[in-house]
Structure 1
Amino acid sequence: MIRDEVPAPAAASAHRFDRLDALRGLAIVWMAVFHFCFDLNYYGYFEPRQRFQHDPFWTVQRTCIVTLFLLCAGMGQAVAIQAGQSWARFWRRWAQVAGCAVLVSIGSALMFPNTWISFGVLHGIAVMLIVVRLVAPGQLARGVPGYVVLLCLALAALVLPRVWHDPLFDNRWTNWVGLVTRLPRTEDYVPVLPWLGVVLAGVVLGSGLLRHRPQWLAGGVPAALRPLAVLGTWSLTFYMLHQPVLIGAIRAWRWATGS
């Protein structure tokens, strides 16, 4: 099992970050529901067939899910930075994310050989974690000026793909940057630009909350939300297992019913 590492700051080691975990748990539950609907549509259980790549009902949901997930990733990095996370611990966690990204590519290539995932959400997180680790600690140590720099970088990352793109980035070897002239045909695509902007915004938000409103991230949650907090601590494991389980369940149902 692969547990998320969100270490508590030394000054607050007695606290857990259940509220951040619950928010992450909400994001992955929403993602699982979205993927289950995609799977049902893929196997012909939706009538009429849904257009997940074009219908705003689905595309807006996907954008919201990825945004929430990456915002939580940024806030988690703010917690890790404040806790003084070592490079060794960082690289252990990074290796887990990168390894899972490779497995996602392999699995998607087997199921969708023409639209396999070469740079999805885990690939994006793996690259963006390195960028954040190199840039954010030094800026956060500067206080308000550093926060402003990070917000400017976040804004630049969000805006740049809208104002400049080039055919150079329209292939699988370069589209990870995000400056494409057309979206690639793939089952998942989360390029560094503009999504790095969301992660950096999460870092700034998380750092600000830790400084001024730590109780918004730390502390307990209502009993009804406790399962989300627990799930949020195992988000990478859940991410890797949910699709095989859902697809397996659908195929088992089809076999059992002869449909």
Structure 2
Amino acid sequence: MTAFHFCFDLNYFGWIRQNFLYDPFWTTQRTAIVSLFLFCAGLGQAVAFTQGQSWPRFWRRWAQVAGCALLVSAGSWLMFRDTFIYFGVLHGIAVMLVIVRLTAHWGAWLWLAGLAAILLPLAAMPLHVAAGNLHLLNGRALNWIGMVSMKPATQDYVPVLPWLGVMWWGMAAGQWLLRERPALLPGAIPRAFAPLAWMGRWSLSWYMLHQPLLIGAMLLVR
């Protein structure tokens, strides 16, 4: 993610010329990064749910994510007035965390629910055609659901569908691991991966700080 954003920032300042919106080299990386984010978030929820995380503690963490999402919107509005982030990855995670928490007891059905969530947006275009183009679903008020006929103009867009499916699969995988391979998740981390483990423990802080630091450094050397 950091390397991806570093290249994005280089492109923003004109030091490289890349098409981050349409070039598969970059769009595939973005899809992989977001998928990993959401899968790990679902897996983390499986651990928290299994350990009996209380609702007050859940809401405290949720408030941190939601608050950071608002900061992302504000910061992106300053940089990209016309394409600011109003429903990016943190906004999506905030909504999906609640859904995943409420459905944590679904067990193995989470796999099927995840598949349905991933496939459902494929019906968006036929739905728009059959209904005479549902402009309401393309508007900012509802396009966060994901049933759009065209992607909105925004710097980051992570709608509930299909991405909820990835988080559901993370929850399902986490529950399976905790039930069938309980010794795997709490296992020791190789020393070489210790820095990555540190970033994982402070993932939200890293996510929020790395871009301002990268952009600030680039502004200093321009």
CA distance in 2, matches of 1:211, 1:232: 23
AA partner of residue 100 (structure 1) = C
Post-superposition CA distance 1:210-248 (Å, at most 9, x none):
111123321211111011111100000011111100000
- Tell me the equivalent position of 1:37: 7
Could you state the TM-score of these two structures normalised by the residue count of structure 2? 0.94
- Equivalent residue for 1:246, pick from 214, 218, 222: 214
CA distance in 2, matches of 1:95, 1:225: 29
Post-superposition CA distance 1:21-61 (Å, at most 9, x none):
xxxxxxxxxx1110000000111111xx1000000000000
CA distance in 2, matches of 1:204, 1:128: 14
CA distance in 2, matches of 1:170, 1:42: 27
- Tell me the equivalent position of 2:121: 161
AA partner of residue 66 (structure 1) = V
AA partner of residue 118 (structure 1) = Y
- Pairing of 1:37-76 with structure 2 (within 5 A): 37-46=7-16, 49-76=17-44
- Tell me the equivalent position of 1:98: 66
Mean CA deviation greater in 207-216 or 150-159: 207-216
Q: Which runs of 5+ in 1 are unaligned?
A: 1-30, 141-146, 255-259
- Equivalent residue for 1:116, pick from 76, 84, 87: 84
- Tell me the equivalent position of 1:220: 188
AA partner of residue 34 (structure 2) = V
CA distance in 1, matches of 2:171, 2:155: 28
Q: SS of the residue aligned with 1:182?
A: coil
CA distance in 1, matches of 2:121, 2:183: 36
CA distance in 2, matches of 1:156, 1:128: 15
Q: Which runs of 5+ in 2 are unaligned?
A: 129-134
CA distance in 2, matches of 1:169, 1:227: 42
CA distance in 1, matches of 2:90, 2:124: 25
AA partner of residue 94 (structure 1) = W
Report the RMSD for the aligned CA atoms in angstroms.
0.9
CA distance in 1, matches of 2:62, 2:175: 21
Deviation at 1:151, TM superposition (A): 1.3
Runs of 4+ in 1 over 4 A off after TM superposition: none
Higher relative contact order (CA 8 A, sep 6+): 1
Could you state the TM-score of these two structures normalised by the residue count of structure 1? 0.81
CA distance in 2, matches of 1:139, 1:170: 31
Aligned residues: 214
- Tell me the equivalent position of 2:201: 233
CA distance in 1, matches of 2:82, 2:124: 28
Q: SS of the residue aligned with 1:68?
A: helix
- Tell me the equivalent position of 1:20: none
CA distance in 2, matches of 1:42, 1:88: 41
Identity over the aligned pairs, expressed in percent? 61
CA distance in 2, matches of 1:229, 1:67: 18
AA partner of residue 122 (structure 2) = R
CA distance in 1, matches of 2:184, 2:193: 15
- Tell me the equivalent position of 2:132: none
Post-superposition CA distance 1:57-115 (Å, at most 9, x none):
00000000000111000000000010011000000000000000000000000100010
